[in-house]
Structure 1
């Protein structure tokens, strides 16, 4: 130890480790050592939180214990795309090589690579808020916002670190624990373009973990650049298994996987008050954040003045309201300004990267006008956004990565883009909080307790509170999924975290729009056994929509089957999810969709395969071959469909006849031939959906 002292947020200790490196570890009063924080340029997608009560210890604050010899369990991960791109593993190995020299025989390396916590001016942290706002703190504490990023601990990590071995492109990663710490041992055993050097290995601690709802992503430190680099495997929480990170996204199978830097890609939206502080010349980060995850001040603004004011009032024995509380309450803002607080993260926005992020922080604070600092990308208004034209000249695929052709956002975490294009919002009375609540909701959806059903819509459309009026409008039985406003007007046409997600752009079903954009319409997403012509005829008869010209297949083949097998990857993954969606299966009858999902188990996109497997499991686990693994390039993939068809044929006598438009009639060979015909015409264009 070289010295110690007292800082604004508590004690700090400054020490010199081996090789003359200096590290400053900060401890806030009553809390753990210097902590990292998280954020994400593509917010609220895979990085969704969980619940943790115990404050963990940072891996940078413990002495290195004697290395134990362990025998790892082996699990091969070898997906196309990720394996072809060995650059990420090589990059990480170079990081580990630096770290290995510092770790042997001394303190654990990694502390300097973590963002500094609790040193942002004018912020005080959620613990300060708890003193007066215990109920609000408690409801926030159990939310997934809080756990967007955590320090690694037995409470925060759901993944298996019990001596698991993962192999990627000739590099072996062994995951193990040292008491309360989580570690990775990497051995370079030979890879394309890398000369094998035996079992040369390095060990390093996990620095950060993001997610505890759908999946968990892990980060390790690059001490030279002082940043966090993504680990190339992800833990899927429902399946309780490791998969290559690249397999969890809709990305072209041949695309190179590039390493992610937490400080740049994630810190924007998954931490509170992030200050990236990239020194481009030195290629080093000096990142600071106030707190891990999304805490109180992310929505209410910096709390220093507010906290000081009420502490002084308490000392003076003063109570009651004040004229200026120096804090933002979103409920007291206009619908526009209140929604912009959410939109700061849940949107696709623009800024000048040369002088803004990641060189310095975003200037926006809750209550400000978001459009004044980081305007929202709106494809429908490109003529009024000249900067967007310049962006598209450099990156012409940008809009396709985030939006449907008509400008509707199509990826998760960008709900604000959909909201502001909705007629409800444009009326001036509708905001995010019309449906959602941070403090009065269940964490999974954050729908306010009194807004989980039709009541959310009846705020503005009270006439449909009468059953007779509702049925006359929907043409569906009251209480059925077809009479749920959001199933028709907010269908699951966005995608992220390996599932379909409700669109937040309120719209009405239209076959004309479906043909023009390729986006499935709400009618066919529920009535899986029906054709586009069936939908067009009903919309014409019920609502006066003009029926568009349709092709032969659009008139005779169920839209779900046709597009699930011949559409592009973005369309296929949505249909894979809906084919297992219980309300749609109930409306469509039977298990006739099993062969279609069986075909999708061999899709060229790993994420499509994953979603198809999940849908099949919802129908019945017996439909999945025992050795099937969606993330592998293995014989089980190509043999999955014959196996599924064999099981399906065996139980055919116990089922009714499948609807003719589904093509699932006749013999197994006829079914296979019908599906093969659609697959041969599949749209194989490269699709990348940037969550």
Structure 2
């Protein structure tokens, strides 16, 4: 079965061996030297970094690092029991009795995080690390379950031993330095490596051997240092800084295995999630755990050139000042010469916020950076820095900052109070959240507004890209023509979404329009173009375009191959196989999905339908019975069973 999936990836997606042409001999890349080497010269910076969450993002399972109570404590939840203890040799262990009665004892492999919770990683088979769902609350000093409302038996894909809680594939790259996943899809085993666990100096600055050599030469001979001190990342550039932080602080799909080289442009390394249902509220406020970048891109702060390090000290990760002083370093009567367009005014005053000083309502972040709790007790702020709009709540269904605190009051009350305080405000006009809210239920009925939003250069790129994504759901080919100028937009997010919209066109017309995008500077755009041209016959293209298509397909192949431990990837492979009418490969890919995650009902439905078409109703019912055994109450599967009738 698996050979069919590999064949699909390597043969169908790549089409033929990519044409690479003449390539220059690459310069020798710098090597990692480790944070301990950096500490030899940069002692003050190292001391600050050692106190940070970055340094403690992933640590060894030692008494110094583990803060939880392992002194024969237990935690029980929904039929599962975890017992925490320490062996005579000092090994920290967790004995887990699952809902099905099976018991297994695990040594704690390593530790994730330090506050407000600490999580423990268990090696369930050689090389495979899983994030255990029972974690330690460092503030309340107690054990708790991350998902107390979910029924998670061992055969559920969301169980702590399942693919979505796998540390190697889902988490380690952002908790380590110089990480390589090294997943073998044939054995389904990991042989992961890293330069060091934890986010060390070189995770952000890049490998340091050239810097070290340059520094030694400077001391010995007084020769000129290398550009940017021998590092790959130039943190003097705000956009470079933002993109370097965004690599981990975003909800995204990786385009390559392991750690991208620091300094890699974001859109060469990742495909950023847009403002879609389940991730963001209709107005762009955070909903699921989307981290920071997608929010920040919506903000006026980002538009005006504010960088992460304007507010966060990069080595301690702490704010650069206490409380409102972070904001008033710019938002004050004195302003900030680095941002000359900023209105100079008094903001940290009851005349602005209409709350008593010291009251929670007087804190800038409580109105402009509403916090949400993730992972049980971890409060994180929305970085879109939005002005409260309770007047939009009835239209968008989104929460608002005012009634987050004044929970006994409706949004209409909050809207009237703001209107009273700011009767002449110019911040109560139309908002893209109104369009998105309507588009979520009726994308075909909002195409005019979506098209105008997508074409508006004053609107944030992530918003415009989301508008294009909704237009793609309309099924109207005329919209692809209308949006074609956006294929040349300066924002890679917009270009990639505009490419996806062209899939509404017939293959040849689509190909004529997308050929230039196959050599786009951003890998995420090239991959979007390759996807959109999957059904375009190679012979329909000129020779140079065929070469570009092969190269773009190679990008796509590399991206897919880096995520073969994801059920989502095999769903994509199945879709490719369906496009090419390769039924054995589609069956193999869908089967791989349900082997990894038996709750992926969409894969079961397709397996049943393919079996019905190729093997007859008896075989289809056998597949459906297997699906129902894993998902006995699922309405879609039960409806399909009813449609198929008795045996």
Match of 2:134 among 233, 244, 247: 233
Quote the offset at 1:373 in angstroms: 2.6
Is residue 119 of structure 2 the alignment partner of residue 242 of structure 1?
Answer: no
Q: Contact between 1:235 and 1:241, CA under 8 Å: does it hold in 2? A: yes
Quote the offset at 1:298 in angstroms: 1.3
Match runs of 1:283-682 below 5 Å: 283-314=188-219, 316-318=220-222, 322-328=226-232, 331-333=235-237, 335-352=238-255, 356=256, 360-362=257-259, 364-379=260-275, 399-412=276-289, 414-427=291-304, 429-439=305-315, 445-448=318-321, 452-458=326-332, 459=336, 460=339, 467=346, 471-476=350-355, 481-493=360-372, 495-541=374-420, 542-544=422-424
Quote the offset at 1:217 in angstroms: 1.2
CA distance in 2, matches of 1:478, 1:183: 48
Q: Contact between 2:137 and 2:143, CA under 8 Å: does it hold in 1? A: yes
Shifted more, 173-182 versus 418-427: the winner is 173-182
| SS across alignment from 2:216 | helix
Deviation per CA, 1:529-581, whole angstroms, max 9, x where unpaired? 43323212123332447799xxxxxxxxxxxxxxxxxxxxxxxxxxxxxxxxx
Q: Contact between 1:344 and 1:370, CA under 8 Å: does it hold in 2? A: yes
Quote the offset at 1:223 in angstroms: 3.9
CA distance in 2, matches of 1:173, 1:497: 18
- Number of matched pairs: 387
CA distance in 2, matches of 1:209, 1:400: 33
Match of 2:86 among 177, 202, 217: 177
Cα distance change on mapping 1:430 and 1:466 into 2, 3 Å: closer
CA distance in 1, matches of 2:212, 2:106: 39
Gaps of 5+ in 2: 1-28, 431-647
| SS across alignment from 1:242 | strand
CA distance in 2, matches of 1:493, 1:266: 21
Match of 1:122 among 13, 31, 52: 31
Is residue 40 of structure 2 the alignment partner of residue 150 of structure 1?
Answer: no
| SS across alignment from 1:400 | coil
CA distance in 2, matches of 1:319, 1:515: 66
Cα distance change on mapping 1:273 and 1:514 into 2, 3 Å: farther
Q: Contact between 1:186 and 1:203, CA under 8 Å: does it hold in 2? A: yes
Quote the offset at 1:131 in angstroms: 0.9
Is residue 107 of structure 2 the alignment partner of residue 205 of structure 1?
Answer: yes
Partner of 2:8: none
Q: Contact between 2:118 and 2:137, CA under 8 Å: does it hold in 1? A: yes
Quote the offset at 1:525 in angstroms: 2.6
Deviation per CA, 1:283-331, whole angstroms, max 9, x where unpaired? 11110111111111111111121112223433x2537755452115654
Shifted more, 480-489 versus 468-477: the winner is 468-477
CA distance in 1, matches of 2:235, 2:179: 24
Q: Contact between 2:232 and 2:263, CA under 8 Å: does it hold in 1? A: yes
Structure showing the higher helix proportion among its residues: 2
Deviation per CA, 1:164-195, whole angstroms, max 9, x where unpaired? 2445676654322235633336476x954x6x
| SS across alignment from 2:282 | coil
**TM-score scaled by length of structure 1:** 0.50
Quote the offset at 1:493 in angstroms: 4.8
